């Protein structure tokens, strides 16, 4: 039986009809056409599908959609725009932390959740926060640098 699901996505209230077994990633990509969130492994292993639900980074490919009822969901589309780039996006570009870019939306969302909780994360803390996000291209060094750099920028705001 289909169910109504109401939640906030990137600051906008939405209501969608879902099958109770639907996963959050499918609602985002298929129903809401928010394709910035990527499907990698589909098994909770790579982090490409990471979004932020009420401040926590989650793997949307294994996250039941019904769990976001009444929640605030943030995807990469809500992080920044071309006109107003988020400090994390800016630092990722400046530090060369984006190569093929497939892991980037997920990395950004995990990093965002971290920076909401920790103002000055050291390398160890950043590595731990990004441990579930796999990147085939960068070797992680530049990604970690970018997150540190963005934390510095945010602290100056």
Size of the site for ligand FES (CB under 6 A): 22
Burial of 8 (0-12, 13-18, 19+ CB in 10 A): middle
- Which residue from 48, 65, 109, 146 is in contact with ligand FES, where contact means CB under 6 A? 48
Considering the rule CB under 6 A, would residue 136 count as an interface residue with ligand FES? Answer: yes
Sole residue written with tokens 């960068």? 138
- What Å distances lie between residue 64 and 41, 58, 92, 112, CA to CA? 16, 11, 30, 22
Considering the rule CB under 6 A, would residue 59 count as an interface residue with ligand FES? Answer: yes
- Which residue from 5, 18, 23, 47 is in contact with ligand FES, where contact means CB under 6 A? 47
Considering the rule CB under 6 A, would residue 36 count as an interface residue with ligand FES? Answer: no
Contact by Cβ (8 Å): 119, 154:
yes
Binding site for ligand FES (CB under 6 A): 39-42, 44-49, 59, 61, 98-103, 135-138
């Amino acid at each position: 039986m289909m169910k109504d699901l109401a939640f906030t996505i990137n600051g906008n209230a939405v209501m969608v009809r879902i099958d109770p077994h639907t996963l959050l990633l499918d609602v985002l990509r298929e129903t809401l056409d928010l394709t910035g969130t990527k499907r990698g492994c589909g098994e909770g292993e790579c982090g490409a599908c990471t979004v932020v639900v009420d401040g926590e980074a989650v793997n949307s490919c294994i996250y039941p959609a019904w769990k976001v009822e009444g929640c605030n969901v943030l995807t990469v589309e809500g992080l920044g725009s071309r006109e107003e780039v988020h400090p994390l996006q800016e630092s990722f570009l400046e530090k060369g932390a984006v190569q093929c870019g497939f892991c980037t939306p997920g990395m950004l969302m995990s990093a965002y959740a971290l920076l909401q909780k920790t103002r000055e994360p050291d390398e160890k803390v950043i590595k731990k926060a990004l441990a579930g996000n796999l990147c085939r291209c960068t070797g992680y060094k530049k990604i970690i640098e970018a997150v540190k750099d963005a934390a510095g920028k945010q602290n100056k705001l």
